[in-house]
Every structure is written in structure tokens, then in C-alpha cells.
């Protein structure tokens, strides 16, 4: 949890600038600072001082100790060097920007609120911090590279300034490069190939081989040997027999409070000896923590496998779940890290990933801890690792495309991929296609060992191991109490008035923005800032659709051109001697190196029909654990003009085996799609054309009877509602509701409402919709029941009617497309 030490600073009244009339720079900013090892208390207080002196207000957390939480109704900005704090996901859902401390420095230097996205701590935006300018590239290449930079968190500037970090150029013969050299500016001049390779891999690789003048990729042939890079620190990121994990945990070198107020449960499946368990407990106490004997009441669970009662209890309770390797890593580095940040810091799966047991995998061009990490990951995935390569090997994981093993792999027709294939298969818990260009891309004069171990766990993929439902992809949101799920007709109690239709503008406080927010010479995502409400939400969404997404789409289109975003026909001049030597040698070996990496990804396909059907599938069993079949079916359907989508808001057709209360089904019904049986896509594949939907319309009398609904009537109401059944209504969701907050948020928003997680009354909630009735969806466990009185008290304070309902109320509403206030949804 974020550190709740806020210091003695009082919360000031928003200040005015020195001229006494113009509002101070951060006049509309209410901030909270998340303290961490990267942002310690002293540095955090200095950032707070700078913000307050420039007119900002500091938000105090709600509660203290383990129950502390952020007041997300009040906060407009969160300052953090990491995304590893409990409120991060909810802040993102409310469009509250999370920015690094550098955002404050840059804003003050420029005397203008800086764009927030270039300062995000989210590691997915791997070009964050880059401010690039482009020197004399063709217009198409320039637009494509700019789109990629912005999409991945960087910024583009048309002019060379003191803030520029990179100049993208083909040579030094241009004004920007000459100016940078003459002024001895601290800026890197790189070939556009660097951005192209970074964007293809989804990782930021070293610029050194691409630096002008005289870049290494032009001087040295790709097949020439190169030393192994230092690579990332992967100590205690893997557990190898006889390695560090066979020893006692490292003791902290100095006083550490990493586990302050944290209770840790060491799982039974670790099978620790009494001596080792005692040693670990001693180290935890030295770091201000406590080892407890049960999961109930613990903050952290450390286990070996993703099964067993303790793992399920811990995961469902939402506490941190990690492996012993992760615990040792924290002890060694004396700082907190999420157990989801590294793949082997999370418990393993007995038997591995289904399908991986058929694979025999070897490794090339990796060394040290990186090689040990990959060996352990191969074994954890369920495949067999072999030190040497033989003809029976199925895969070669390599950091470069040149080695003896690489040459043998080509001759023996063994799949050759980089480590991203293994990492993402494990993270997503689904075998990825080896034909994906990301996995077969090997940049020239780069060893990909430098970016190994950066893939985090996929949180969504982990849910299948502990959620209370057994469908891997789409689960039925039926109540734990099956009796409460029936939707018989009932009368609405007199005390709860009908949902009032309020214009959607009441959800936002759309106050005009001061001129200070206007764009400067840098092109990037617009700043996200709000006062008492979320007034930047509409502008941010508009900019996303009108500017940022076209940039990303332009980049994706350019990436499909021959040669990637650099263009297929542009030449940088005569080929270097290294290029010629490389080509001659590889041609003599029967390989054309100029197109070696792209053959798999640029196979000519027959021209596809433009999609006329956007199909959403739910509860479709044919593709479960059948990734290759799913990929083939999706391609075949796309060739017919049927585009498979995962977003219910995009679908024109919904396919299901029967009526199911899944998240997708509930969300999609609000769009009034054509609802068909899953036999329809099967028939289209069999007939190799889009067949008539009439014979395949979903008819499920048993399902309708069970849910007390009529599908035809629901679709008719949906057409009239136009996705606005809950317009102007706010729905609160308690943490313990079966299915999770995100599921219900999507259903509410699909029907035009607003949804918030309720954990305690907000101190200030002036930006909430003005609906007559406040609704709390709750589970029946003790933790949720403790929220009922605070919720009802909040409603009385606002002079509103309030009801506490089972989640079935929302599910039935979504399925029937009508609002019913009925006592059967109340708790006894």
C-alpha cells in the first residue's frame, strides 16, 4: 500500500501567481504522492512542496494503516515512480493520470502543464521519456515513426530544443544534426531503423548500433561475432537446482522496512524445513514484517503452486501472491516489487501449460542469469529443455539470428524464435503462434538478451486459476445463490423512485480550460487535468479517437509495407561493404539476409473481403486451449468478411451456444445485435461463405425460462434504449461481489450508466450523477455487509433514496433491458 506519511505540511488555499491576478500553475491540481523505494519520503516531500508553492492542493488518504485508501473523488493527479500500488487500476478507470515526478519539474520549467503520457510510470509505454525530432525523412516515414513514438509514450517535436533526446536522421548532412554537433548538445542521433526495431519488438533496445555518424549496423556484418551484453539483473528471478535458491534467504544489509505492517503467510506447499522456515521468519521480522500461520488476515501469501485452498483463498481475497523466489528477491534488493512483474515470481502450475509438453526447446546466444532464467521458464511452462540441439528439437530460442544452432535450425526446419515467444506464452497461459513477426524479428547487431525478463504476468490470464467459475474464457455470472437468480415479476417498493433520465453531461463538469493548457511545440497526448470533476475526460477521449489512434493506425499501416515503417524503396545511398559481404556469404549458404527475418511475416495473402459482419463469440468451447485452431478459424472467417471482435460495443452479431449471463452477452445485448447460435460461424466456415442467419437465430426456451426473460423482447427493448437504459444512473459495487468490479463496470457502462467501486464514503463527490436513487451491488460476506451502513448514511447526507441489491439486479437488467425495483433483489 502507498505510504501514508504525509508530513506536517498543511493543505493550503490555491495560490495566485506573483502578479496577483493569474491563477498559479497548478491551481486546479489536487495530488497524492505514492512513496516507494524509487521515490522515498524526503524526495516526495520536496515534490509536494514544489506543487503546493505553485498552487496545488494535497489530498489526504482515507483511513490509516492497512485500511488506508486514496480519495479518488478528490484527486486529479497521482505522482508515482511505479504503478505498483493498490489504487492504480481504479485510478485508470476514472481517468486520473499517474505521472512520474519529472512531470512536475518539466511543467515548472515550461511554466505550462506538461502532457501526462510521456511521464507515465507504466512500463508498457517503453518510449516514455523520449522527445524526438526528425531530420529530412520522407513524409510517409515521418508520420509513421511519429505515430509509433506517441503511441508508446514518447513525444515528437518539430524543432530541435534543449529538451530533445533523439534526432532521427539518415545521415549527418542536415541542419538539425549540424546544429546539435556545433552546440555539443546531449542528444542521440539515430537511424530510423532503431525506432522501427523497437516498435516491432515492443521493447526499447540499445541505441548504440544505430548511432550516427558511422553506425555499427552499416560497418559490421550481422553474422560477425559480438560479445554478450550485460543484460538486466536477473538474480533471484529464477530458482535453479543447486543455485541461490538452495541457500538461506539473504539478510538485509541495513535497517529495512519493506514489510512494515505486512503479515506474510508461508504456504504449506513450500514444504519448508523447520530450520529454513525459522530463518525466513527472522529475516522478515528484520524487515519490519510478521510471519503468520493462516491466510485469513495476511497481506501476502507465498506459495509454490497455483492450486490448493490457501492459494485460492489468498487470490480471491485480493492480497499479494508470490513465490519463494520473489520473497528472496525482495530480501536481496531490500525494496518492494510486485510479484506480477516477473514471470517466475508468481507460483507455478503443476504440469505446465497444456501443449507445451510436446516441445523440446534449446537456447542460443544467451548467457549467465539470462540463460538460467530461460531454462527455468522452459521447464515451468511444461516443455523439455535440452542443452544441445538435435533433430528432435522443436524450437530454438535465440537472441540473434546467427550461431551454429541457428544455422542447424534452418537446415533441420526447427522453429527459431526469440525469447518473447516463450515469455508471452507463459504470461498469457496460451501457446503463441511462432509465425508472429514479433517473435521472429532479430535486429542487426543487437543481442536480445538485453531485454530478457521484462514481460510481466497477464493478470486476466491468472483469473482462470482462482475464480469461482470453470469456463476459461467466458463465465456465467449466475449468483452463488441460484435461487436468487430467477427474474420473476415483482413490484417495485414505494420507497425507491424510478431511475431519472439525466443528460450525460451531468456526469462531467465541463468547465472551460485556461489557455495555459494549450499545446506547445511538442506533439503528444494532451494533458489530463480536472478540478472538482472529470472535465478532461471528453477532451481526452476525443483526442484519443481523432489524433492519437490515427497515428497508431498510420504506424500499423506503414509497418505492413515492405521494409517496415522505413519504406521499401527508399535507399540510404550505396550499400556498405559490410552489407555486400553479408549478402555474398548468406547467399552462398542459401539464405538471403536482406529479407531473412521478414519471410514468415510477409507471406502474400489473398485479398480479404472488407468486413461486413463484426462477430462476438461467447462461451464458445471449440477454441478453448486450441490457439492454433482459433487463429486459423479467425483468418478463414476474415477472408469471408466476418471480423471476430472482443469488444461488445463493436459487434453486429453475437454468437453463443445458448443464452448465458456472461460479461460479453450482457454487454452486447445493449447493442441489439443479431443473436445466433455458434452453429452459424461453423456453417459459414463449412460453406466458405456468409450463410443466412435466419435458420441459426438463437432459440433457447430453457434458458429463457430459467432467466425469466424473452430474448426477442429484450432485443426489441435494446433497440429502443439505444444503449442508454442507465443514462444518468450511478451504480456502486462492493469489493466482494462475485465476478469482480471490472465485469460490472463494463455492463453498467454498456448501458449508459456510471460505475464506481465502493469501499467507504468519499469525502467529496460533487462530480457524481444527479440520480434519485443510489444503488450498491453487494455480496453477502461480512466485509461487504460492513459497507451497507456507510453507504446508506452517504445517501441520507445527499438526501437520496438508496438500495442495497444483489448483483442479480444488474444482470437481469442487462438481460431483459428493463429496470425493475424489486424486493427479491434485497438482502434479508
Q: Which residue has the higher pLDDT, 146 or 627?
A: 146
> 91, 114, 137 — which closes off a domain?
114
Summarised one tens digit per residue, pLDDT across range 78-137 is 999 988 776 787 787 677 899 999 999 999 998 999 888 889 998 889 998 899 999 999
Alpha helices in 95-138 (DSSP H): 102-110
Query: Is residue 674 domain-shared with residue 742, that is, in the same domain?
Result: no
Tell me whether residue 186 is in a domain.
no
C-alpha 415/C-alpha 692 separation (Å) is 41
Determine which of 148-157, 162-171, 493-502, 664-673 has the lowest per-residue pLDDT on average: 493-502
Band of the pLDDT at 440, cuts 50, 70, 90? very high
Tell me whether residue 583 is in a domain.
no
pLDDT at 473: 43
Band of the pLDDT at 383, cuts 50, 70, 90? very high
Band of the pLDDT at 201, cuts 50, 70, 90? very high
Query: Is residue 250 domain-shared with residue 274, that is, in the same domain?
Result: yes
Exposed/middle/buried for residue 429 (C-beta within 10 Å: 0-12, 13-18, 19+): buried
Q: What is the mean pLDDT of residues 816-826?
A: 91
Q: Is the pLDDT of residue 244 over 70?
A: no
> 82, 114, 146 — which closes off a domain?
114
Query: Is residue 766 domain-shared with residue 708, that is, in the same domain?
Result: no
Band of the pLDDT at 516, cuts 50, 70, 90? very low
Query: Is residue 638 domain-shared with residue 671, that is, in the same domain?
Result: yes
Tell me whether residue 563 is in a domain.
no
> 291, 314, 341 — which closes off a domain?
341
Q: What percent of the chain has pLDDT over 70?
A: 76
Strands of the 300-302 sheet, one edge to the other: 290-292, 263-266, 300-302, 320-322
Give strand pairing partners of 674. Answer: 653
Summarised one tens digit per residue, pLDDT across range 569-623 is 334 444 444 444 344 333 333 333 333 333 344 344 445 556 678 999 988 877 7
Q: Is the pLDDT of residue 553 over 80?
A: no
β-pairing verdict for 522-523 and 155-157: antiparallel
Q: Are 283 and 437 in contact (CB under 8 A)?
A: no
pLDDT at 552: 52
Q: Which residue has the higher pLDDT, 471 or 624?
A: 624
Query: Is residue 717 domain-shared with residue 740, that is, in the same domain?
Result: no
Q: What is the largest CA-CA distance in the chain?
A: 87
Query: Is residue 707 domain-shared with residue 618, that is, in the same domain?
Result: yes
Q: What is the mean pLDDT of residues 511-536?
A: 36
**What is the 3-state composition of the chain as percent helix, strand, coil, each rounded to the nearest 5?**
35, 10, 50
Query: Which of the given ranges, 32-46, 426-440, 504-518, has the highest pLDDT on average?
Result: 426-440
Q: What percent of the chain has pLDDT over 90?
A: 51
Q: Report the chain's mean pLDDT, rounded to a whole number.
A: 80
Give the count of alpha carbons within 13 A of 356, CB side only.
25
Query: Is residue 780 domain-shared with residue 733, that is, in the same domain?
Result: yes
Tell me whether residue 74 is in a domain.
yes
Q: Report in angstroms the alpha-carbon separations of 270 from 298, 300, 314.
A: 17, 14, 15
Tell me whether residue 382 is in a domain.
no
Q: Is the pLDDT of residue 563 over 70?
A: no
pLDDT at 538: 42
pLDDT at 783: 79
Summarised one tens digit per residue, pLDDT across range 300-345 is 999 999 999 999 999 988 889 999 999 999 998 888 888 999 999 9
For residue 756, what are the contacts with CB-CB under 8 A and spacing of at least 6? 94, 730, 731, 732, 733
Tell me whether residue 578 is in a domain.
no
Q: Is the pLDDT of residue 372 over 80?
A: yes
Strands of the 522-523 sheet, one edge to the other: 188-190, 166-168, 131-134, 155-157, 522-523
Tell me whether residue 509 is in a domain.
no
Determine which of 16-30, 405-419, 727-741, 756-770 has the lowest per-residue pLDDT on average: 756-770
Band of the pLDDT at 476, cuts 50, 70, 90? low
Q: Are 58 and 32 in contact (CB under 8 A)?
A: yes
Q: What is the mean pLDDT of residues 493-522?
A: 35
CATH of the domain at 698: 3.40.50.10190
Query: Is residue 674 domain-shared with residue 759, that is, in the same domain?
Result: no
Tell me whether residue 597 is in a domain.
no
Q: Is the pLDDT of residue 258 over 50?
A: yes
**Parent domain of 654:** 613-721
Q: Is the pLDDT of residue 417 over 90?
A: yes
Q: Report in angstroms the alpha-carbon separations of 220 from 154, 275, 430, 446.
A: 30, 56, 38, 12
Band of the pLDDT at 378, cuts 50, 70, 90? very high
Give strand pairing partners of 397. Answer: 363, 417
Query: Is residue 680 domain-shared with residue 756, that is, in the same domain?
Result: no
- Distance spanning both ends of the chain, measured CA to CA: 35
Summarised one tens digit per residue, pLDDT across range 690-712 is 999 999 999 999 889 988 999 99
Q: Is the pLDDT of residue 253 over 80?
A: no
Residues 501, 821, 771: CA angle, nearest 5 degrees? 30
Summarised one tens digit per residue, pLDDT across range 703-736 is 899 889 999 999 999 999 999 999 888 899 988 8
Q: What is the mean pLDDT of residues 284-300?
A: 93
Query: Is residue 707 domain-shared with residue 741, that is, in the same domain?
Result: no
pLDDT at 185: 96
Q: Which residue has the higher pLDDT, 295 or 609?
A: 295
For residue 676, what are the contacts with CB-CB under 8 A and spacing of at least 6? 653, 654, 655, 693, 696, 697, 698
pLDDT at 13: 43
pLDDT at 566: 52
Q: Is the pLDDT of residue 194 over 50?
A: yes
Summarised one tens digit per residue, pLDDT across range 216-230 is 999 999 999 999 998
Determine which of 10-19, 304-313, 680-689 has the lowest per-residue pLDDT on average: 10-19
Query: Is residue 716 domain-shared with residue 728, that is, in the same domain?
Result: no
H/E run at residue 681: helix 679-687
Query: Is residue 102 domain-shared with residue 42, that is, in the same domain?
Result: yes
Provide the domain count of the chain.
4
For residue 99, what are the contacts with CB-CB under 8 A and spacing of at least 6? 77, 78, 79, 80, 116, 119, 120, 121
pLDDT at 36: 80
Amino acid at each position: 500500500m502507498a505510504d501514508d506519511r504525509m508530513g506536517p505540511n498543511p493543505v493550503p488555499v490555491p495560490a495566485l501567481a506573483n502578479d496577483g491576478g493569474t491563477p498559479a500553475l497548478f491551481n486546479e491540481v489536487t495530488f497524492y504522492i505514492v512513496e516507494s523505494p524509487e521515490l522515498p519520503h524526503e524526495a516526495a516531500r520536496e515534490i509536494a512542496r514544489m506543487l503546493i508553492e505553485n498552487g496545488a492542493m494535497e489530498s489526504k488518504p482515507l483511513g490509516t494503516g492497512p485500511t488506508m485508501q486514496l480519495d479518488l473523488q478528490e484527486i486529479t493527479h497521482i505522482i508515482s515512480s511505479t504503478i505498483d500500488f493498490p489504487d492504480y487500476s481504479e485510478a485508470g478507470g476514472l481517468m486520473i493520470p499517474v505521472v512520474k515526478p519529472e512531470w512536475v519539474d518539466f511543467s515548472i520549467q515550461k511554466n505550462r502543464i506538461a502532457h501526462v503520457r510521456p511521464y507515465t510510470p507504466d512500463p508498457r509505454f517503453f518510449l516514455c521519456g523520449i522527445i524526438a525530432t526528425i531530420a529530412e525523412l520522407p513524409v510517409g516515414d515521418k508520420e509513421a515513426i511519429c505515430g509509433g513514438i506517441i503511441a508508446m509514450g514518447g513525444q515528437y517535436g518539430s524543432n530541435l530544443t534543449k529538451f530533445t533526446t533523439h534526432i532521427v536522421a539518415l545521415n549527418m548532412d542536415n541542419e538539425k544534426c549540424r546544429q546539435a554537433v556545433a552546440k555539443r548538445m546531449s542528444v542521440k542521433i539515430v537511424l530510423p531503423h532503431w525506432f522501427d526495431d523497437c516498435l516491432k519488438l515492443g521493447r526499447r533496445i540499445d541505441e548504440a548500433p544505430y548511432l550516427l555518424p558511422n553506425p555499427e549496423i552499416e560497418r559490421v556484418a550481422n553474422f560477425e561475432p559480438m560479445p554478450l551484453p550485460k543484460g538486466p539483473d536477473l538474480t533471484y528471478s529464477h530458482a535453479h537446482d543447486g543455485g541461490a535458491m538452495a541457500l538461506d534467504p539473504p539478510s538485509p544489509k541495513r535497517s529495512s522496512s519493506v514489510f512494515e505492517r505486512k503479515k506474510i503467510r508461508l504456504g504449506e506447499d513450500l514444504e519448508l524445513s523447520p530450520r529454513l522456515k525459522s530463518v525466513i521468519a527472522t529475516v522478515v521480522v528484520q524487515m519490519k514484517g510478521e510471519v503468520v500461520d493462516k491466510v485469513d488476515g495476511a497481506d501476502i501469501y507465498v506459495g509454490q503452486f497455483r492450486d490448493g485452498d490457501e492459494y485460492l483463498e489468498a487470490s480471491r481475497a485480493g492480497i499479494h501472491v508470490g513465490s519463494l523466489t520473489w520473497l528472496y528477491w525482495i530480501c536481496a534488493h531490500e525494496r518492494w516489487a510486485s510479484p506480477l512483474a516477473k514471470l517466475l515470481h508468481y507460483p507455478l502450475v503443476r504440469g505446465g501449460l497444456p501443449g507445451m509438453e510436446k516441445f523440446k526447446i534449446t537456447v542460443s546466444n544467451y548467457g549467465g542469469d539470462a540463460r538460467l532464467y530461460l531454462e527455468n521458464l522452459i521447464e515451468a511452462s511444461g516443455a523439455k529443455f535440452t542443452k544441445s540441439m538435435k533433430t528432435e528439437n522443436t524450437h530454438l530460442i535465440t537472441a540473434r539470428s546467427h550461431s551454429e544452432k541457428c544455422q542447424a535450425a534452418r537446415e533441420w526446419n526447427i522453429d527459431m524464435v526469440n525469447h518473447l515467444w516463450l515469455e508471452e506464452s507463459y504470461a498469457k497461459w496460451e501457446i503463441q503462434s511462432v509465425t508472429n513477426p514479433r517473435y521472429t524479428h532479430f535486429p542487426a547487431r543487437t543481442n536480445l538478451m538485453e531485454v530478457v525478463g521484462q514481460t510481466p504476468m497477464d493478470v486476466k490470464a491468472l483469473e482462470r486459476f482462482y475464480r469461482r467459475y470453470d469456463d476459461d474464457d467466458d463465465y456465467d455470472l449466475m449468483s452463488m445463490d441460484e435461487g436468487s437468480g430467477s427474474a420473476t415479476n415483482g413490484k417495485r417498493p414505494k420507497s425507491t423512485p424510478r431511475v431519472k433520465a439525466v443528460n450525460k453531461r451531468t456526469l462531467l463538469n465541463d468547465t472551460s480550460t485556461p489557455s495555459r493548457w494549450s499545446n506547445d511545440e511538442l506533439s503528444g497526448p494532451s494533458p489530463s487535468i480536472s478540478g472538482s470533476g472529470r472535465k478532461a475526460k471528453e477532451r481526452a477521449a476525443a483526442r484519443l479517437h481523432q489524433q492519437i489512434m490515427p497515428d497508431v493506425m498510420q504506424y500499423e499501416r506503414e509497418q505492413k509495407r515492405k521494409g517496415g515503417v522505413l519504406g521499401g524503396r527508399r535507399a540510404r545511398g550505396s550499400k556498405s561493404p559490410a552489407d555486400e559481404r553479408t549478402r555474398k556469404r548468406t547467399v552462398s549458404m542459401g539464405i538471403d539476409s536482406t529479407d531473412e527475418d521478414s519471410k514468415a511475416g510477409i507471406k502474400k495473402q489473398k485479398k480479404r473481403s472488407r468486413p461486413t459482419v463484426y462477430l462476438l463469440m461467447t462461451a464458445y468451447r471449440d477454441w478453448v486451449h486450441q490457439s492454433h485452431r482459433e487463429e486459423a478459424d479467425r483468418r478463414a472467417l476474415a477472408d469471408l468478411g466476418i471480423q471476430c471482435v472482443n469488444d461488445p460495443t463493436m459487434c453486429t452479431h453475437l454468437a453463443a451456444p445458448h443464452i448465458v449471463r456472461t460479461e460479453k452477452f450482457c454487454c452486447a445485448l445493449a447493442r441489439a445485435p443479431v443473436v445466433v447460435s455458434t452453429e452459424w460461424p461453423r456453417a459459414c466456415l463449412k460453406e466458405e461463405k456468409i450463410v443466412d442467419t435466419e435458420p441459426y437465430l438463437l432459440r433457447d426456451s430453457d434458458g429463457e425460462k430459467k432467466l425469466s426473460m424473452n430474448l426477442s423482447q429484450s432485443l426489441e427493448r435494446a433497440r429502443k434504449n439505444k444503449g442508454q437504459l442507465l443514462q444518468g444512473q450511478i451504480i456502486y459495487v462492493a469489493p466482494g461481489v462475485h465476478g469482480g468490479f471490472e465485469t460490472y463496470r463494463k455492463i453498467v457502462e454498456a448501458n449508459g450508466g456510471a460505475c464506481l467501486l465502493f469501499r467507504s464514503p468519499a469525502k467529496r463527490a460533487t462530480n457524481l450523477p444527479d440520480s434519485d436513487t443510489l444503488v450498491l451491488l453487494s455480496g453477502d460476506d461480512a466485509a461487504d455487509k460492513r459497507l451497507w451502513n456507510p453507504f446508506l448514511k452517504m445517501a441520507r447526507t445527499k438526501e437520496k433514496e438508496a438500495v442495497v441489491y444483489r448483483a442479480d439486479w444488474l444482470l437481469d437488467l442487462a438481460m431483459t433491458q428493463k429496470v425493475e425495483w424489486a424486493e427479491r433483489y434485497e438482502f434479508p
